[in-house]
Structures are given as C-alpha cells and as structure tokens.
Structure 1
C-alpha cells in the first residue's frame, strides 16, 4: 500500500484473521490489534455458550474497534474484526472513514476443519453456520479486497499485500 491506512482483516470465524492479521501488519510495517480483545466480557460469555451475538451486542465492540482505527488514521494499522454485515462495516467507517477491508474467504469445509483444530478459542464450530448466514461480502463501492485462504499463512498474507497494492488510488 502506498500510504499508511488502517486495514480491517474480516471474515467468518476460522478464516485466519488472528493469524493473517499480524503477518499482514508486519509486511506493512504497522501495528496489529486483535479484534477479539475489544469484545465486552458479556459477548465472550455468549459466544462461549454457543449463543450468536445480536446486533445490539456488536455495536459497542464495533465502536471500540472503530475508535482504535480512527486513532491510527494517517499512521496505519491492522485490526481483525468479523465485520460480516455491510451495516457493521458502515459502523466502522462512520468512526474511521479511511479504513480498507481485507475479506478472508474460503471453502466452508476448510474453515470448519481449521476451527476444529484450534485450541483455547471461545468460538465453537457450532456457530459457523450462523456466521455464513450473516455474511454479506464486500460490495463494489467498499474499499477492500477479497483474499482466498487456501495455502500457508505466509502465502495468504503475501496475497493480501498484492491485492491491497492493486487497489486504485481512489479506493485507498
């Protein structure tokens, strides 16, 4: 990327946001923030119990991520957030207008397999269906790119950098 933007690494659970985010941040030379760290305890308790979040649960979380991103304006940064709906991304952009999204995408079976092998995460594979049902991919007027998650984390991060570099200046 030509200028330091804040990049939101988005996608359903299990796409690798927490793995790819720090790798992408390192390649861009900016700090990384883990989006899950912005969740209130009540949200984590719900998800741990297998209860999908409602929009009212998400607003304070999205606002906190947006404020972090706004604080990094002109400096750059990478933060993870599922950002599954357009309205969630709009909420983030309302607080941090210059953000750019990297939507990690992949085959449901691959993602479920990855989720089933991770340890110590609060998001159960049982919520994957609700994540896919909620997902609204990036629309053409949204600044961002879709990046497929097959391959190694390093390959995915490199793919993301190339995709971001290919964005027209008007979308960066």
Structure 2
C-alpha cells in the first residue's frame, strides 16, 4: 500500500502496465478547451484502434465526492478519452457512485480492479495458449511425414510411441473445456 499520493500514482501505473498497456505518470494533455494535468495516462491498442484512459488517483483518508466524478467526466470529454478511472482506497460517497454509473467513468480502488480484471486476464492467457496450440498444429502438419518420424514427433505406421498430433488434439480438448 502506498504511503503517499506519488507512490499511489506509481502503483496505479504499474497495475496498468502489468496488463500490457503503457502508463505515464503526471502528464499534461491539451484538450479542446484547456490543458489538463492527469495523474496517470494509459494507452493501448485494441483491434487496431488507439485507446486512451485517464486515471485520477486520490490517496485520501475520506471517500471521494460526486464533484470529483463529475470533474473527471468533463476532463474525459474535453480530451476525447475513451474512459476515466477514479481510484481511491477510502471509497466513494453514494453520490459519486451514482454519478459514475452508466458513464465512461469508473470509480474503484486498486484492490477491486485487480479482482475485476483477474477473469479477463485469465481469459487472455487462455486465448494466447490456444493461439500457440493452433500455431504448433499448423507447424506440425507443415512438416513432411518422414521428417516427423525421423525427429521423433510421431511413430512409424503401426508402431506405438510419441505422437505430436495426439498432444495437439489433447491440448485443444483441454482448452475447449
């Protein structure tokens, strides 16, 4: 747990970096109307599009009020960002949660973000493994049969032994389940 607000910003940036995104701390961005100082700017690419998230870190002992959520919503709009994330380990007043509902501003804390993203991270890792299995299958079948036998990737006809094809099939079955 961070001891001051600067350390809290660094923890937040590190969290987003752990998800494979870029995260810069203390960034000044020019909006349509004015310049905004943002605690953490998170960028990534998703299906060919640049994604921009603005993260405000409140290392406070009291819950965040609705005014801070509304302020972040305006900054997100002015900068044309995809999402605003307001982080505070002390929580949020009920009006703040209500102001964030059904908007592109998410109010949370680092601990909850970790829990919320755990399922998505696991799904991404499984997709990555499935892609690797598909690549292995393609590479396996691209090899000539005699070469596969020679290097021990399969037994000769009517012999028992290692089978690269069975391993790929088994991997596909396990991932499918």
Same fold at TM > 0.5: no
Larger Cα Rg: Structure 1 or Structure 2?
A: 2
Structure scoring higher RCO (CA < 8 A, sep ≥ 6) equals: 1
Higher-strand-fraction structure: 2
Q: TM-score, normalised by structure 1?
A: 0.32
